[in-house]
Structures are given as structure tokens and as C-alpha cells.
Amino acid sequence: MKIIRLNRTVRAPSFAQGMITYCGAPVCFTLERPWLGNKRNVSCIPPGMYECVSESHSKLGQVLRVNGVPKRAGILVHAANYVDQLQGCIAPGDFFDIMDFKLAIISSRKALNRLLELVDSHGKLTLDVIDYEEIS
């Protein structure tokens, strides 16, 4: 199964930013809610290895469902522009900007489509979430 790695790089009170790579090459950036103790709907997911499955969502279109998150369900990688459009999910994108006076991730659907191209013949891949490296 293919493995993509999400390296979280920025921690802020209201969001987390990161980058997804495949075989060491950048695929896209990410926007998530901040770490708030893995609380449902308001926190990003904890670091770990998760199986992702490609599926069609009735409202969001094609998404990656992130399975095996401790004490959580319904975690998706889906297209979005703002952190307030996420309920613990992950939004991919090509770059960050300010829209409507808020941080936004841009070209999210395009970046999601690149991730969906990486799933194997069974519609799966592994997501390895690496948390921020502490700087001493």
C-alpha cells in the first residue's frame, strides 16, 4: 500500500498547516484545525498511521476517508478553503492566501485530485501523520 506523509509545520491557536509528501516529493499543503486534545469536530487528529479509503461523499464529492483515528469517526481529506469548513478533517491545497480576511488554502480540489490519483487498485493508501518538530 502506498504511504503519504503529512508533516505538520505550523501550529497556531486557530489552525495547523502542513505538507503532504509521497516518496519524499511534495504533493500539497494542508490546513487543519489546531490540536485541542483530539476533541471531536474541533481538533486535528493525533499523529499516527492511518488507512485511507477513496469514496464518494454525498455533499463533498470524492474524498479520502481516514480510518482508525482513536476515539474519532468521520475524518475525511476533502476540498475546503477555510479552517471553519473543517470538523477535524484535512483540507489539501496548493498554497495559502488571505481571502475574506481569513487564512485560506487555495486550489484545494486540484490538490485533492492529485492525492486521489495515489490510491492503489483497491482504493486505499496509508497516511502517516507526523507532528511538529519541537525546536529547543
Q: Which tens digits make up the pLDDT trace of 85-114?
A: 999 999 999 999 999 999 999 999 999 999
- Inter-residue contact 28 to 36 (CB < 8 Å): no
Give the list of residues 6+ apart from residue 45 with CB closer than 8 angstroms, or none.
32, 38, 66, 69, 72, 75, 88, 90, 129
**CA-closest candidate to residue 20, choices 132, 130, 134, 133:** 130
pTM for this structure? 0.95
Cβ–Cβ contacts within 10 Å for residue 76, how many?
A: 20
Q: How far apart are CA 29 and CA 77, in angstroms?
A: 12
pLDDT digits (tens, 9 = 90+) for 49-74: 999 999 999 999 999 999 999 999 99
Cβ–Cβ contacts within 10 Å for residue 98, how many?
A: 8
Sign (positive/negative) of CA torsion 71, 80, 100, 29? Answer: positive
Whether 135 has a pLDDT exceeding 80, the answer reads: no
pLDDT at 130: 96
The average pLDDT across 121-126 equals: 93
pLDDT at 133: 64
pLDDT digits (tens, 9 = 90+) for 3-51: 999 999 999 999 999 999 999 999 999 999 999 999 999 999 999 999 9
Of all residues in the chain, the percent with pLDDT exceeding 70 is: 97
